[in-house]
Amino acid sequence: MDSEGNTRREPGTEPSGNARRRRRRWPWVVGGLVALGLLGLAVVSVVLLFALGAAGGTAGGTSPVVYEEEYVSGEGPDKVAVIPVQGTIASADNSLGGIQPTVTPEGLADALGQAADDTSVRAVVLEVNSPGGGVTASDEMHQSIVDFKENTNKPVVVSMGDSAASGGYYISAPADRIVANETTLTGSLGVVLPLLNYSEAGEKYGVTQNYVTSGEFKTIGSPWKDLTPEEREIFQTYVDQSYDEFVDVISSGRGIPEDRVREIADGRIYSGETARELGLVDSFGGLDEAAAEARELAKSGQATVVRYIQTPTFTDALLSGLAGRPSEAERLMQESGLDLESKPYYLYLPGA
């Protein structure tokens, strides 16, 4: 104690205020540096993923894609390339890059390009198992097939699976031969334009939608109101134009008079057996029979049959994981067709 009676502290026994503040601050400094490092790694990883995805496939359809070849049958030096077209026809989602499915216009164009460039490929078999899809996507795929035939003189044969309806038939029409199973579901030749209407539900729950527009028909097709006769006529004209294109594709591809096509293209479905009677398919069988037709047309009886397959890379798997999975509600809407945009489809849609 000093002479005043106060307790005296030895020098160095208590840290200064600045020292205490430094001790409290350093964990935050270290934590901030770690966080910045992790953020930097995340940014670099995302950039690399997108770069690798673009390099490994088509980004916008500008880079060539090499599909792997899976052996099917045969042992000759020539090849028949089988290109699967399975699922709903739609434009590719290029937001994540990578190899596109051959049920998209971009993917099919890439696969046909590979078959065109490969001099050992003498013919192509399209393995179609699709209910159709978007009008524009179907038309782009149809045009790719027409262009392939004109530019390469290589025959194209279609092998129909469980279904090849609507847009699935649209892309099949220009083939040199169409082979189907007797039980294949085909037909549904026509156009559907789905328009949701929940104006009644809105009235029930007191929900309304107001618009400020520049023209009388700017809100045409709004789900918040019923169609007027004038609006319905506009939509019908739009649908009829797409239908006329469908009729022309069938007539020119199958050599059936236009009037006859309009008689059978009323939207109804057909079995493979009925389709053959109507001249929509040529013969019955599966992939083996379709490949035999392709060999015959190409005059290459011993050609090896290979299937183009899309093998996901590690990058594709990571990109797919980033995309996430649809929720249960989204899945139900997809299965019921409620997620369809208000645009025309060449699509077999039960209950439409």
Active site residues: 166, 218
Is residue 219 a contact partner of residue 211, using CB atoms and an 8 Å limit? Answer: yes
Question: Half-sphere exposure of 40 toward its Cβ, with a 13 Å CA cutoff?
Answer: 6
Q: How many CB atoms lie within 10 A of CB 118?
A: 14
Kind of pairing, strands 304-309 and 345-347? unpaired
CA quadruple 311, 312, 315, 319: dihedral sign: positive
Is residue 55 a contact partner of residue 315, using CB atoms and an 8 Å limit? Answer: no
Q: What is the three-state SS of the chain?
A: CCCCCCCCCCCCCCCCHHHHHHHHHHHHHHHHHHHHHHHHHHHHHHHHHHHHHHHHCCCCCCCCCCCEEEEEECCCCCEEEEEEEECCECCCCHHHCCCCCCCCHHHHHHHHHHHHHCCCEEEEEEEEEECEEEHHHHHHHHHHHHHHHHHHCCCEEEEEEEEEECHHHHCCCCCCEEEECCCCEEECCCCECCCCCCHHHHHHHCCCCCCCCCCCCCCCCCCCCCCCHHHHHHHHHHHHHHHHHHHHHHHHHHCCCHHHHHHHCCCCEEEHHHHHHCCCCCEECCHHHHHHHHHHHHCCCCCEEEEEECCCCHHHHHHHHHHCCCCHHHHHHHHHCCCCCCCCEEECCCCC
